[in-house]
Amino acid sequence: MSVTTPPGSATTTSPHSPPSAADSADSADPAGPKRRRALGWQVRFGILSLIWGFSFLLIKVGTEGYAPFQVTLGRLVFGTAVVAVVLVMKRERLPRGARTWAHLTVSALLLNALPFSLFAYAELTIPSTLAGICNATSPLWGMALSMVALSEDRPTRRRVAGLGIGFLGVLTVLGAWQGFSGLDFRGTSMALLASLSYPVGWIYVRRTLAGSGHSNLSLTGAQLLVATAELAVVTPLFTSLPTHFPVVPLLAIVALGAVGTGLAFLIQYGLVAEVGPTTAQMVTYFVPVIATAAGVAVLGESLSWSTPVGAVIVLAGAALTQSKPRIRPTEPLRQDDGPRNQPDHA
């Protein structure tokens, strides 16, 4: 789910720009990339799509037995535990410096604590299928914000067209022509706000933590740890201890944390390091499809025609905002040719 997810390529995929220790090891050890290719990045790409697609189903099941804040806290506890084990195995240290931890406190709120909680609350009243489709709007929000906040992301015609198409798809999903009748406005707004929180967090991280010298794994572990602490403070203020512990929702929370958060983050950063953020971010376009299929097949959620049609439009718009125009081939230079025949990389 974001998409730290996922959800420009570097802005919508990887919330941490500095290279990881694993990246450095691979560049020094030629056998590293070969071992990764033997595992098949396509297989891990598919696994990550399934994990994040089923995460919305797990949230729905978890909230059937526990309060949304409890679901989020459990998710973060188990996700942090998985990343902590890997940190210990790789003998990596958490970041140092008060300034870095202050930035991590903000990024943990925007990329983990807030969106995770909003999705959990949203799924109290909306289907997991709709939550998954709302999550697919994250690249659209990200592109719109980055064109304003990041100087390198200029508003081209292609990007503006993609944004327009994408948000037309959102209106289609929500049934705007029917006056949004039958739509749970509060739950849907929470899901869309959660999707908006991701790119805000990505831009913040890109401005504050990029180039900090810490590995992706170290920053991820620290960020999840801080998010867990934030939820540990908030949860007792709004919920009381459960009087009983339903097994199935509890197992859903464990899977959501250990697999949907901890393992998924590790797979994501491995993909970014191996195939780059542009290819890795394509997982965003498979997540709503899997979330919709899982919600309908497993939970028996209903599905109107406007939901899948709108989702396709949303994904088409998101893909258009991420695409880059082709550079036209140039003719060979003649002796009398000057720089005018050089390709324009601006």
CB 120 within 8 A of CB 71: yes
Report how far residue 171's alpha carbon sits from residue 180's, in angstroms, rounded to the nearest whole number: 9
Decide if pLDDT at 252 tops 70: yes
Among 30-34, 155-159, 201-205, the range scoring the smallest mean pLDDT is 30-34
Among 62-66, 76-80, 298-302, the range scoring the smallest mean pLDDT is 298-302
Among 55-64, 275-284, 289-298, the range scoring the smallest mean pLDDT is 275-284
Decide if pLDDT at 223 tops 80: yes
Among 151-155, 156-160, 206-210, the range scoring the smallest mean pLDDT is 151-155
Complete DSSP assignment for 3-62: T-----HHHHH-S--SPPHHHHHHHH-THHHHHHHHH-HHHHHHHHHHHHHHHHHHHHHH
Q: How many CB atoms lie within 10 A of CB 323?
A: 12
Report how far residue 128's alpha carbon sits from residue 133's, in angstroms, rounded to the nearest whole number: 9
- Across residues 187-209, what is the average pLDDT? 92
pLDDT of the residue at 343: 35
Alpha-carbon separation of residue 112 from 156, 168, 242, 317 (angstroms) = 31, 28, 23, 25
Average pLDDT, the chain: 80
State pLDDT tens for residues 303-339: 777 778 888 888 887 777 766 665 555 545 444 444 3
Complete DSSP assignment for 209-233: TTTSS--HHHHHHHHHHHHHHHHHH
